[in-house]
Structures are given as structure tokens and as C-alpha cells.
Amino acid sequence: TLSLHDALPIYLAAFGFSGFPGIPNTILGPFAVFDTRMYLKQSVFDWSAISKARAGTENRKSAQDSYQDSRDVVVTVVASLYLEALAARSRIAAAEAELKTAQALADQAASFKQAGVVPAIEVLRSEVELRARRQRLIFYQNEFEKQKLALARAVGIPLAQRFRLTDTVAYSPLPAMSAEEVMERAYRGRRDYRSAVDALHAVEYSKKAAEGERLPSVALNADYGDLGQRIGKSHQTYSTSVSLEIP
């Protein structure tokens, strides 16, 4: 702070001083005062402030875990849609194989009918099966295109843009894990659970901060400056103190 006081009088009688030898008047001044000063106030011990700082740290950790959980949810959704699209493509491959088999059986039935080995009803039955397999293939192809559209929406690809799935996922059985192992892994790795735990810790510290307001606090106060009649004709002054505040 910088203070400049010009024509500043002091009334001594207001402070209980009067009758000083050589000072006939009880009013001194007016005179000019120049004062520039730096102040420092440092908390030495404040349990409420300490608890509030810890609560803020836990809130920050909770927010970070919540942000990471949102990213994990996006990754899980996109990966699930990709796997569903791969499964739909695999159904198309299976349906194409079944169609080829039905076509071969229909051709065989037609050849047997021409040879007089089977009746015409067998040819009709094989043709019905062939058309059913063909309809199933068309259904799976449409489902595959729907899965690709859902994947494109999730990723942000324009719906009119054509793309194909290049990565395949081979089947691998899940590792055998007990219920206790699954729960322990979830508690350790799930971001939503960790975010909730951090939020709970933040509330606990906030409660301690409220309770800590009843406790005394200690602070260090200091100032250092330059005091005089004017700039260049002054002297360095300072003061220090320790304060104890009891609610």
C-alpha cells in the first residue's frame, strides 16, 4: 500500500495527552506524511482451512474420475457397437454358407426328380428351403447395414460415407474369476465407483471443516515499509505479531 497524507493534524487531547513542556498546543500539525508498506498475513494453524483444502483436493479427484468415466463409457459404447457389427457380418457369412447348401440340395432334388428317384414334393420342399435361406441372408445383410449406421453415428462419421470393418476379433474365452476377484477388480478399476468414493471423502472433509470452525486458529502478521515526510527523506520501519483467534 502507498499512503500520502498532506496537512494531517493530530489532536493530542483526544488520546489523553496535554501539557507537554515546550508544546503549548494540543493540536500538532498540519504536516505531510509519506508511507509505503507491504503486508503479510500467514495462517500458521487453521484446522477448518486445512479440512477445506483437503475437501477441495478430493472434489478435484472426483471430477477427474468422473471425466475419465465419461470417456470410458464412450469407448465401451463404440466398442460394443463395433463388436455387434462384426457379429452381424459373421451371421452374413453363415447365412451365405447355408444358402449355398440349400442351393446344392435344391439342384440335387431337381436332378433326382428328373431321374424319377424322388417325387415332386421333395423338389418343392427344397425350393421353399432355398427361398427361406435367401430371405434370411437379405435380413442379415440389412441388419449389418443398420449396425454400421449405429456405429457411424456413435463415431461421428457422415451417414452417407461408405466404410468397411477391417479389424476382426477372434474368440477367446473369458478368464475364470471368482465373485470376490470380480468385485475387487471393479472396486480398483471402475472410475464411477472411485469418483463416488472421492466425493464421499470430500463431504467428510467438509464436515470436519465445519466442525473445525469452533477451534482456535493462529496467524502470523507482518509489515515492512518506508515512512517519512516525503520520498527520499524517510526511514524503514517494520512490525511483526502473532495472533490467536478463539471463536
What is the C-alpha to C-alpha distance for residues 207 and 118, in angstroms, rounded to an integer? 87
pLDDT digits (tens, 9 = 90+) for 1-53: 656 555 567 777 787 777 667 666 677 777 777 788 889 999 889 999 999 99
pLDDT digits (tens, 9 = 90+) for 186-232: 888 889 999 999 999 999 999 999 999 999 999 999 999 888 877 77
H-helix or E-strand spanning residue 10: strand 2-11
pLDDT digits (tens, 9 = 90+) for 53-72: 999 999 999 999 999 999 99
What is the C-alpha to C-alpha distance for residues 12 and 33, in angstroms, rounded to an integer? 17
What is the C-alpha to C-alpha distance for residues 222 and 237, in angstroms, rounded to an integer? 11
> What is the pLDDT averaged over residues 158-173?
83
Q: Which position has the grid cell 477448518?
A: 48
Bigger pLDDT: 25 vs 165: 165
In the predicted model, is pLDDT for residue 142 greater than 90?
Answer: yes
Q: How high is the pLDDT of residue 19?
A: 65
pLDDT digits (tens, 9 = 90+) for 71-128: 999 999 999 999 999 999 999 999 999 999 999 999 999 998 888 888 888 889 999 9
Q: How high is the pLDDT of residue 5?
A: 56
106, 126 in Cβ contact below 8 A? yes
Q: Which cell numbers in the block locate residue 84?
A: 455387434
Q: pTM value?
A: 0.60
Burial environment of residue 51 by CB neighbours within 10 A (0 to 12, 13 to 18, 19 or more): buried
pLDDT digits (tens, 9 = 90+) for 226-245: 888 777 778 889 999 999 99
